[in-house]
Structure 1
Amino acid sequence: MVKDLHGKNIIITGASGGIGEKMARLCAERGANLALVARRTDKLAAMKEELEQRYSIDIYTFSLDVSNMEKVEEVFPLILERFKVIDVLVNNAGYGIFTYAHDADMKEVKSMFDVNVLGLIACTQQVLPKMLATKSGHIINIASQAGKIATPKSSTYSATKHAVLGYSNSLRMEVASQGVYITTVNPGPIETNFFDIADKEGTYVKNVQRYMLKPEYVARKVVDVMLTPTREVNLPRWMNLGSKVFAIAPRLFEWAGRGVFNKK
């Protein structure tokens, strides 16, 4: 059941583009107040002005690189001052770079973990005490099908998303009896600018473009489960079926899928 978001307070990281922007627009349409977080404040400012003119809601924007722990500790208290109750946190900020493991630049490896894993954990720690105090709230972590099925040239990215799933699964059990929901979202490739960085040569996009998910579709699926006890959102369904087969027969799956996996 889709919950009424009117008057709810929602934080979205990585909100300046891709599914983050689409989620922000859908939440605004449904009457939620927003704290939008991203590195690019120009896009956030334009979106704030547009949405506040169209809807009777409060929108606050914050410049933040979630990999900067000191800035996380500065910005989130400002959000908590404005929103006495945090209903939903969407940890959406993240990126990937596709390269062979032996070619990986260690600065890029560290940066991916800093943003995709440590940044997500840091943001969660900022809001979780308030949610536990009110015995309500929902944390939605954007992971990936790559966190379930690793493929060539995505070793570091897959590792970060494996970590997000592990963290989320443990956290879900910790807070299960305290009124806080934890959801992971595991999409396949989405038609966004993610691949401008991840796939600089354009090979992967060219090979899988017809299978790519529309960001509007993914965003709607996420917003639809807000404030519901949904464990996971897996998109598309056929790709998630592959992850289930992989869990049962990994060796056979890897052998059978070699041709598909080497699309990067």
Structure 2
Amino acid sequence: MEPPHTEQHAPTGPPPHREGAGGAGAAGGTRRPWVVGVSGASGTPYAAAVLRALLHAGEAVDLVVSRASRLTLLDETGLPFRDAHWREDLRRWLAQGADGTPDRFEATLPDLSTVRHWPAGDLAAGPSSGSYPSKGMLIVPASTASVAGVALGLSKDLLQRAASVTLKERRPLVVAVRETPLNGQTLRHLVTLDEAGAVVLPASPAFYAGAADLQDLVDFVAGRALDAVGVPHKLYRRWSGALGGSGRRPGGPGRAAAGGGGG
């Protein structure tokens, strides 16, 4: 697989100081991060891949990790996510591969100084207000509960509130729903989000890109999420219009797709 997009850009500026938040950017204009919400659905490796790729692309990130997602993260990776130690926990999470390899991305881990963490219960956090300058939001993965909360405007926690703000401010919102099968109520909620301007992006890995391992499948979904908001990346091999472009021969071994070496 090709290496990840590693060109770094200086962050646009530091966020206002608040207790409990981290990630100061460089001096200079207004910091405009992407808000990344991680819900309790299965699929925490998708969130890690999106976060790595955003940071490799030089983007600032505001991170909201729901309470339920911390249980899922612990179950899927064996790693905790603690408000008091979020930077240390985030580094370990982003270094781990989708297959559980603890140091798969350690050597190419992007700079985390442009990440700012907001506790999920902090409804006075920056992303809870439309006046807070963000570029948009990605919910990766999105549980059916978070889908319902955003569609109904419940704002039960910061993740839901930030998504509602993103919609009302007409900023890009990507909802990477991870559930199967989907019942009628959830489908109606997804239609509501689509009509409100969100991109509904099921976490559906593709195989035409010549996936060689689990990380490749994860990176494909993460790459499609970033495509939806126009952030450059090299997470997967794009369709070229030629059959066999993945390098996989019938009955033979495949070779790696573009970008799975990191992201």
Q: Please give the TM-score of this superposition, normalised by the length of structure 2.
A: 0.47
Q: Please give the TM-score of this superposition, normalised by the length of structure 1.
A: 0.47
Which structure is richer in relative contact order (CA contacts within 8 A, separation 6 or more)?
2
